[in-house]
Amino acid sequence: MALAERVIHAPGPWQHRDVSANGARFHVVEMGEGPAVILLHGFPTFWWTWRNQITALAAAGYRAIAVDMRGYGGSDHPPHGYDPFTLAADIAGVTRSLGEERAVIVGHGWGGMVAWAMSVMHPEVVDAIAPIAMPHPRSLRRNVLRHRQWSRLMYAVGFQLPIRPERRLARRDGARVETLLRKWSADDSWVDEQSEIYRAAFSRWPTAHTSLEYHRWAIRSMPRSDGRRFYAAMQQSTRCPVLHIQGTQDPMCLPQSSAGSKDRCSGSYEWREIPSGHFPHEEAPEAVNELLLNWLQTLPLR
């Protein structure tokens, strides 16, 4: 546990703080002054995955804010609330708790899903979104049986089992976390230096359980009313600007699965590919930073 706390609160040029929002406590890491850019991680990482973007954004005149999502890192790990409605409300609340009226939302994986959800559920706090390795939810659902995307998501089906997946993730000091990071990367050399950090953060109980609740909601909600309500809500058009970033060699979320995402947007939409796997911001941080900063400069941010 001591090691987990050390990596979660890693020192650096940034500041750590806790904020209350939507009935929970969230650990955030921030740096810089200017228009707010909120960074949302995916599975199986935490705020540290944005370390390269935090410093680049701050240097360029933005307030970079990396959030540990519900059930991860230094944030609360409640037993419920791992659905997109609650997760979007979490980040809308965090935005306000930090004194910001609006923010640009950058999200990877599940964080990208939350960015898409916020764009239609909380448009009043969203200036723009930049989903990374995450199609629009309705496009992903439509494409899941095409291009063999379904076979790449079978890991999430295995997560539906009780207890066993948690034990597997926690076994041998989180070795499974490192395996997933390597498996989903096109070039896993970045994992060599970072695996111990991600494994340590995952050792904080009950992260191995709560991180799986995202996947469990996604599968189990499909025949339920809450799942149908979410996909009905996502019929609304995303009106804010969108920068959609995708790794060309992503073995988990195939580029073809984003087909149709542009059609869900009535505002400006830019599709950009990075020669990388599922973690472009880790595998090619300089390329992602350049894309983000060039795009941000085109936005009329206050």
The closest of 211, 79, 218, 83 to 157, measured between CA atoms, is 218
Please check whether residue 115 lies inside any domain of the structure: yes
pLDDT above 70 covers what percent of the chain? 97
Please check whether residue 153 lies inside any domain of the structure: yes
Please check whether residue 301 lies inside any domain of the structure: no
The pLDDT of residue 147: 64
Q: What is the pLDDT of residues 116-172, one digit of tens each?
A: 999 999 999 999 999 999 999 999 888 876 766 666 677 778 888 888 999 999 888
Three-class DSSP category at 266 = coil
Q: List, in order, residues 6 or more apart from 162 with CB less than 8 Å away.
A: none
Please check whether residue 122 lies inside any domain of the structure: yes
List helix spans (H) across 184-257: 189-202, 207-220, 225-233
The closest of 133, 88, 131, 97 to 25, measured between CA atoms, is 97
Range scoring the smallest mean pLDDT among 83-92, 256-265, 279-288:
256-265
Please check whether residue 203 lies inside any domain of the structure: yes
Predicted structure pTM score: 0.97
Please check whether residue 111 lies inside any domain of the structure: yes
Average pLDDT over residues 161-189: 93
Kindly report the CA angle at 68 between 235 and 227, in degrees rounded to 5?
30
Domain boundaries, position 268 = 2-296
Q: To the nearest whole number, what is the mean pLDDT of the chain? A: 94
Tokens of 106: 């950058």
Tokens of 19: 């904020």
Listing DSSP states for 48-102 in one string gives GGGHHHHHHHHHTT-EEEEEPPTTSTTS---SS--SHHHHHHHHHHHHHHTT-S-
Range scoring the smallest mean pLDDT among 50-54, 103-107, 170-174, 296-300:
170-174
Please check whether residue 256 lies inside any domain of the structure: yes
Q: Which residues pair with 271 in a beta bridge?
A: 244
Give the chain's domain count.
1
Average pLDDT over residues 234-262: 94
Domain CATH code at residue 177: 3.40.50.1820
pLDDT top residue among 205 and 148? 205
| Nearest-angstrom CA–CA distance, 272 and 298 | 15
Q: What is the pLDDT of residues 84-126, one digit of tens each?
A: 999 999 999 999 999 999 999 999 999 999 999 999 999 999 9
